[in-house]
Structure 1
Amino acid sequence: MNEEIISPENLVYKKPELMNEVPMHYCPGCSHGVVHKLVAEVIEEMGMEDKAVGVSPVGCAVFAYRYLDIDWQEAAHGRAPAVATAIKRCWPDRLVFTYQGDGDLACIGTCETIHALNRGENIVVIFINNAIYGMTGGQMAPTTLMGQKTSTCPYGREASLHGYPLKMTEIAATLEGTCYVTRQSVETVAAIRSAKKALRKAFEASMAGKGSSLVEVVSTCNSGWKLSPVKANKWMQENMFKFYPKGDLKDTTGSEK
């Protein structure tokens, strides 16, 4: 009987070496694990394993340091861009990025996020937007959609009561200090590949000193949304993408990747 030899490059899944064997605490169907894998892959492909520094504040990703074997720094809630600024200014040769959720980045960290990006700090802000506070009970976030129900707006978000969803990525694209601003997702293979290219472009731009980059990843929170992983992906596609359309919003890097 002929044996079919499967070469490593043809494997459907290969875990990056930077990802260790610690079991992840994320809920089944959560987008965080996929994004973690992409970050690890890009860092490895760039050969920056020993020079990458991640900054994770409070939120679902607070334990990101447990899964990727690079240098990490914890930050107070919302303050990751300020911490990343200090690290990058002290060690300009390091690949410095933040990893933040929408409640952290767009609520308590709005000031730090906008001013770090506007200063053109050579860092990458990775923005996981699932339109809810996933870790603390499913409360309404700045990015919660109109009409979307959460534990703190059980009848749905209303403009007259709660205001409108905040489009941080559109705001970032207007700032002079940003060189690359994009919105991606990871619910399909094609989307995952696009998100990986975006992360690579952002990381390379930061190392080239071209300014700040923000990579938003529109994501699911099936636990907070009270949906199965499959239904959460469908809801995201039918609702989130209408208000948060995917694609590059700004690119002055001059890169074709």
Structure 2
Amino acid sequence: MELKDIIKPENLVYDKSQVQTDTIMHYCPGCSHGVVHKVIAELIGELGIQERTVGIAPVGCAVFAYNYIDVDWQEAAHGRAPAVATGVARLNPDKFVFTYQGDGDLASIGSGEIMHACNRGENILVVFINNGIYGMTGGQMAPTTLDGMVTSTTPFGRNADLNGYPMKITELIAQLPGTSYVTRQAVHNAASVRKCKRAIKKGIQNVLAKKGTSFIEVVSTCNSGWKMTPVAANKWMEDNMFPFYPLGDLKDGVKGEPVSKN
């Protein structure tokens, strides 16, 4: 049975982007991935760049993004999406190239790739989903896991003396001269979705204008990995994630600026 047989167009309050496929998403209820997928699909359609777009997705919950956003996709090994995107963008300078990565991917095994790609100012957009946990593989501690946060590998909470400190990867990225736009957003309510969409649109436009790397972190929930209901996960994110990972622009300038806006 197809989606059109389940959801009738006359009952929808919005028109689904033609860039978003009819495939029913597999993400857990309350997951932020589906919202961000929808926003990206809408923007690609609105900007008329579907035929020019190449997405790079590595290992993680978003590995099946090609099922939901109808553009050309290239899969990458865990953490290596920025390296693959570098090759695609350099060989196809007329394309809009973006990576879609989680924190367990980008901030851990892929930390070297993302740092050097951003430092070089590769002409790509990076969408970074930060839910503070390894969502796909069992809820293990990630580099972004908060101090004291319980995960499957830190059952008594993350201990900085033992496990190190949570990594504010976006603050590090903002210091690199190759980045032109660095921001942190969320999608937990309607207002935040609108702000995130504006941010991603700006990132896309920067890539199209050859302004170097744009980096957009989306602070997200993993209610399945956090063992919470979607409502409780949103509240926990607001109370705990946002104070440590504050929302807003960190850098808005041009490639070559060595320091962040703030």
Q: Structure 1 residue runs of 4+, over 6 Å off?
A: none
Which residue identity does 1:207 align to in structure 2? L
> Residue 30 in 1 paired to residue 55 in 2?
no
Shift of 1:23: 1.5
User: Could you say which residue in structure 2 is the equivalent of 1:219?
Assistant: 220
- Displacement, 1:215? 0.3
- Structure 1 unaligned residues grouped into runs of 5+: 1-7
Q: Is contact 1:97–1:123 with CA below 8 Å preserved after alignment?
A: yes
Pair 1:161-2:156 in alignment: no
2:57 counterpart of 1:56: yes
Matches within 5 A, 1:1-257: 12-253=13-254
> Residue deviations 1:145-204, cap 9 Å, x none?
010000000000011000000011000000010000000000011100000000000011
- d(CA) in 2 for partners of 1:188 and 1:67? 21
User: 1:172 is aligned with what amino acid?
Assistant: I
Equivalent-residue separation in structure 2 for 1:99 and 1:13 (angstroms): 25
Does the 8 Å contact 2:132/2:144 carry over to 1?
yes
- Secondary structure of residue in 1 paired with 2:82: helix
- Cα displacement (A) at 1:105: 0.2
Question: Normalising by structure 2, what TM-score?
Answer: 0.92
Q: Partners in 2 of 1:240 and 1:12 — Cα distance?
A: 31
CA shift digits 1:82-104 (9 cap, x unpaired): 00000000011101000000000
Q: What amino acid sits opposite 1:247 in the alignment?
A: G
**Is residue 119–residue 176 contact of structure 2 (8 Å, CA) maintained in 1?**
yes
Q: What stretches of structure 2 of length at least 5 have no aligned partner? A: 1-8, 256-262
SS of the residue corresponding to residue 89 of structure 1 reads helix
Question: Secondary structure of 2:50's partner?
Answer: coil
Matched residue SS, 1:50: helix
1:45: Cα distance to partner?
A: 1.0
**Between the two proteins, what is the percent identity of the paired residues?**
65
Supply the RMSD in Å over aligned alpha carbons.
1.2
Q: Distance in 2 between matches of 1:27 and 1:189?
A: 19
* Cα pair 2:129 2:218 within 8 Å, conserved: yes
Q: Distance in 2 between matches of 1:219 and 1:73?
A: 24
Q: Secondary structure at the match of 2:55?
A: strand
Does the CA-based 8 Å contact 1:43-1:49 persist in structure 2? yes
The size of the alignment, in residue pairs, is 245
| Corresponding letter in the other structure for 2:131 | N
* Aligned position for 1:3: none
- For residues 82-138 of structure 1, give each alpha carbon's deviation from its aligned partner in whole angstroms, at most 9, with x where no partner exists: 000000000111010000000000000000000000000010110000000000000
Cα distance in 2 for partners of 1:109, 1:40 equals 25
| SS of residue in 1 equivalent to 2:51 | coil
Q: Is the 8 A contact 1:205 1:253 kept in 2?
A: no
Query: For residue 18 of structure 1, what is the amino acid of its counterpart?
Result: V
CA-to-aligned-CA distance 1:185-231 (integer Å, 9 cap, x gap):
00011100000000000011011111101000000000000000000
* Aligned residues of 2:179 and 2:254 also touching (Cα < 8 A): no
Which letter maps to 2:213?
Answer: S
What are the superposed Cα offsets for residues 30-53 of structure 1, whole Å, 9 maximum, x if unpaired?
000000000001111111010010
